């Protein structure tokens, strides 16, 4: 099944389908010139850089999740992530020559023939339990007044579990134990892989040591602050904690 992903800046073009949205097919915009193509499952997608055609809606990826089929959301997310990489990887880091698409997920230098692949930035996110409570925090970078979970990027030379412990200590001054893997999520803003964990409070006084967090605390299930919205893995981890009570 063919799909067309039309990107202008950070927005994508969608066709209206009642109250929902869908990605258009190539036949609905024959003038679109594909910058590159990729496949995901049974879908073949062409990505074009242009303004949304007349009659289509232009929206950011974060806005469309409630109105878009989950499979099409995944297609749009992958297309946007590859587009971000395409626009930021025009020259070879080794020799400076131009690079060209070589496969659906790689580029090759026209001079030295070195092949490059999109780079992911792995980041951990962790729900910390203390008895019947969970640690919920507001980060300085949040644009909305919700409380999420401690998160941070994995550094070179550390395991995921080491990253969880380091980020928690750096951001909250807390010690944790029983770090357990809980799931992962592709997060194309612009190229992250979120790796979720749970852990138990082991000691320490809550202090926002490095300035990444602005407020937060341990909350029970009956007195929760505003929470992140789906489909974020933060909300999934919080919902699982609530339902397992």
181 C-beta neighbours (distance < 10 Å), count: 13
Share of the chain above pLDDT 90, in %: 87
Contact 152, 170 (CB under 8 A): yes
- Which pLDDT score, from 0 to 100, does residue 82 have? 95
Query: Is 80 exceeded by the pLDDT of residue 245?
Result: no
d(CA 218, CA 172): 12
**Mean pLDDT along residues 188-197:** 94
Q: What is the structure's pLDDT at 244?
A: 87
Q: Are 216 and 150 contacting, i.e. CB atoms less than 8 angstroms apart?
A: no
Q: What is the mean pLDDT of the chain?
A: 95
Under the banding of pLDDT at 50, 70 and 90, the label for residue 209 is: confident
Overall fold of domain 2-88: Nucleoside Triphosphate Pyrophosphohydrolase (3.90.79)
Q: What is the pLDDT of residues 54-108, one digit of tens each?
A: 999 999 998 998 899 999 999 999 999 999 999 999 999 999 999 999 998 999 9
Candidate from 15-19, 113-117, 200-204, 237-241 with smallest mean pLDDT: 15-19
Domains 2-88 and 121-243 share a fold: yes
Query: Where are the domains positioned within the chain?
Result: 2-88, 90-119, 121-243
Averaged pLDDT for residues 3-14: 96
Q: Name the percent of the chain lying above pLDDT 70.
A: 100
Token duo for residue 89: 């990887």
pLDDT band, very low/low/confident/very high, at 134 (cuts 50, 70, 90): very high
pLDDT score, position 141: 86
Give the pLDDT of residue 11. Answer: 95
121-243 adopts what CATH topology? Nucleoside Triphosphate Pyrophosphohydrolase (3.90.79)
Has residue 42 got a pLDDT over 90? no
Pair 151, 126: CB distance under 8 Å: yes
Q: Is the pLDDT of residue 1 over 80?
A: no
* SS3 of residue 66 by DSSP: helix
Q: What mean pLDDT do residues 155-172 have?
A: 97
């Amino acid at each position: 099944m063919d799909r067309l992903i039309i990107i202008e800046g950070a927005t994508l073009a969608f066709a209206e389908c009642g109250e929902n949205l869908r990605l258009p097919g190539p036949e609905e915009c024959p003038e679109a010139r594909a910058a590159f193509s990729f496949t995901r499952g049974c879908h073949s997608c062409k990505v074009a850089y242009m303004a949304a055609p007349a009659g289509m809606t232009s929206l950011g990826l974060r806005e469309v999740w409630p109105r878009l089929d989950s499979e099409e959301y995944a297609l749009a997310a992958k297309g946007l992530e590859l587009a971000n990489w395409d626009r930021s990887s025009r020259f070879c880091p080794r020799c400076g020559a131009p690079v060209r698409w070589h496969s659906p997920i790689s580029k090759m230098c026209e001079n030295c023939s070195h092949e490059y692949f999109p780079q992911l930035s792995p980041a951990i996110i962790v729900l910390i339990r203390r008895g019947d409570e969970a640690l919920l925090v507001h980060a300085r970078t949040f644009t909305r007044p919700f409380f999420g979970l401690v998160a941070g990027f994995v550094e070179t030379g550390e395991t995921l579990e080491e990253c969880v412990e380091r980020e928690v200590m750096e951001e909250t001054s807390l010690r944790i134990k029983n770090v357990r893997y809980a799931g992962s999520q592709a997060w194309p803003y612009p190229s992250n892989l979120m790796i979720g964990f749970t852990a138990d409070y082991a000691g320490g006084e809550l202090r926002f040591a490095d300035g990444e967090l602005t407020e937060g605390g341990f909350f029970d299930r009956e007195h929760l602050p505003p929470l992140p919205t789906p489909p974020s893995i933060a909300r999934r981890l919080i919902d699982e904690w609530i339902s397992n009570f």
